[in-house]
């Protein structure tokens, strides 16, 4: 009989505690070069440690791997990631990486010598596993509240790769994230006003106002941290009708992604929205990846949104945070203009992405 024990990996600060479950078979899996982990889809998978050719089909994994010093291990990325011109600033080798489809075939991945896939959902993972390719589900959506998964991937990386420098970078990122979360919590703990409603328009595609993220997403967690009523979790799917959105009488609308400027101009015409009438239509910064999806700049995302939503409470130095994160994790010294363009969701040249 197989006996499994569960090791709870924790990162402790004076104020915050985060967990990641990593399942290790201590009886039979005695190979020091392997580890058994539980992915975000609840699957227990035994993989080889220190993989050298990783495919990042999951969009929440690519930029963090680069930030944690594992850029040489990335064989390919989900194809739409390359639509963002900032990738060439933060990742000099982005053009050398394969562009991968959501359902990239096992044959294609085997040809590319991929030894681990970070997958967006269980269906993709299971299909690849049947063909002998190890895959871990790292989804945009947590099985339950994303609060429990903010540090999941970072902790996972530190266990898969036996590397002191990777661990150092993981802990640096977690420290900055924990600091941002705790500053916001402490400032808002006595904030008892009625929650404002906020609707997020997802702009990685030009699908109009009725394209959003649902419950258990990182952006839901972020806005709940900011004591807002995130209305995306009210809909059956991420494509609510315009009529459904109008009924809510939105206080705030935020827009992210490479199509954000096109979408913002369209939304400005929708004067039936209270948020538009009251000038509560905000953009979300765009760097190596979309700030609103868990990434290396997530602390800057929290600071930016806090400043915009509560200008009388918060005055975080978002520019300083972006600059320091860029220097710490990418060894890049961004100019003030670069940072302004990131904050505005523009390219390095100050143009719209699309």
Write down the pTM of the prediction. 0.90
φ, ψ at 214 (rounded to 5°): -95, -160
| CA atoms of 34 and 48, how far apart (whole Å) | 4
- Between residues 303 and 194, the one the model is more confident about: 303
Confidence bin at 9 (pLDDT 50/70/90): very low
| CA atoms of 275 and 198, how far apart (whole Å) | 9
| CA atoms of 102 and 124, how far apart (whole Å) | 8
Q: How far apart are the first and last CA of the chain?
A: 57
In this structure, are 63 and 109 located in the same domain? Answer: yes
CATH number of the structural domain spanning residue 123? 3.40.50.1980
Confidence bin at 338 (pLDDT 50/70/90): very high
Domain that holds residue 252: 191-343
| CA atoms of 127 and 258, how far apart (whole Å) | 30
Cβ atoms of residues 229 and 198 within 8 Å: yes
Q: How many CA atoms lie within 13 A of 131 on its CB side?
A: 19
Confidence bin at 31 (pLDDT 50/70/90): confident
In this structure, are 328 and 219 located in the same domain? Answer: yes
In this structure, are 159 and 195 located in the same domain? Answer: no
Which of 140, 197, 354 has the alpha carbon at shortest distance from 264?
354
Dump pLDDT digits (tens) for 12-26: 444 444 444 444 333
Question: Residue 329 falls within a domain, yes or no?
Answer: yes
Question: Residue 103 falls within a domain, yes or no?
Answer: yes
Cβ atoms of residues 189 and 55 within 8 Å: no
In this structure, are 167 and 197 located in the same domain? Answer: no
Question: Residue 7 falls within a domain, yes or no?
Answer: no
Give the residue from 114, 141, 171 where a domain finishes.
Answer: 171
From the DSSP assignment, how many helices (H) and strands (E) are in the chain? 13, 13
Dump pLDDT digits (tens) for 118-143: 999 999 999 999 999 999 999 999 99
Give the residue from 126, 142, 171 where a domain finishes.
Answer: 171
| CA atoms of 154 and 295, how far apart (whole Å) | 10
């Amino acid at each position: 009989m197989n006996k499994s024990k569960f090791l709870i990996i924790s990162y402790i600060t004076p104020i915050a505690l985060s967990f990641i479950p990593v399942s290790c078979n201590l009886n039979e899996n005695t190979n020091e070069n392997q580890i058994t982990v539980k992915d975000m889809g609840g699957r227990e998978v035994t993989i080889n440690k220190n993989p050298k050719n990783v495919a990042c089909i999951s969009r929440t994994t690519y930029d963090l791997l680069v930030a944690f010093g594992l850029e040489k291990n990335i064989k390919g990325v989900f194809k739409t990631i390359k639509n963002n011109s900032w990738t060439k600033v933060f990742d000099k080798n982005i053009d050398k990486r394969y562009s991968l489809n959501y359902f990239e075939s096992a044959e294609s991945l085997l040809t590319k010598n991929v030894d681990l896939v970070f997958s967006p959902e269980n269906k993709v993972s299971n299909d690849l596993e049947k063909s002998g390719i190890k895959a871990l589900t790292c989804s945009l959506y947590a099985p339950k509240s994303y609060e429990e998964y903010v540090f999941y991937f970072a902790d996972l990386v530190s266990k898969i790769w036996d590397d002191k420098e990777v661990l150092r970078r993981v802990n640096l990122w977690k420290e900055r994230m924990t600091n941002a979360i705790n500053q916001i919590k402490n400032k808002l703990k006595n904030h008892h006003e009625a929650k404002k409603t906020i609707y997020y328009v997802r702009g990685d595609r030009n699908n109009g106002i009725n394209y959003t993220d649902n419950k258990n997403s990182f952006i839901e967690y972020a806005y709940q941290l900011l004591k807002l009523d995130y209305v995306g979790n009210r809909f059956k799917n991420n494509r609510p009708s315009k009529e459904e959105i109008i009924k809510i009488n939105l206080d705030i609308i935020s827009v992210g992604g490479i199509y954000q400027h096109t979408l913002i101009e369209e939304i400005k015409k929708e004067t039936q929205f209270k948020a538009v009438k009251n000038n509560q239509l905000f953009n979300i910064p765009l760097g190596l990846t979309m700030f609103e999806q868990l990434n290396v700049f997530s602390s800057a995302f929290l600071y930016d949104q806090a400043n915009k939503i509560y200008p009388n409470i918060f005055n975080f130095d978002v520019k300083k945070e972006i600059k320091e994160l860029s220097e710490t994790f990418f060894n890049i010294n961004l100019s003030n203009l670069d940072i302004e363009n990131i904050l505005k969701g523009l390219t390095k040249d100050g143009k719209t992405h699309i």
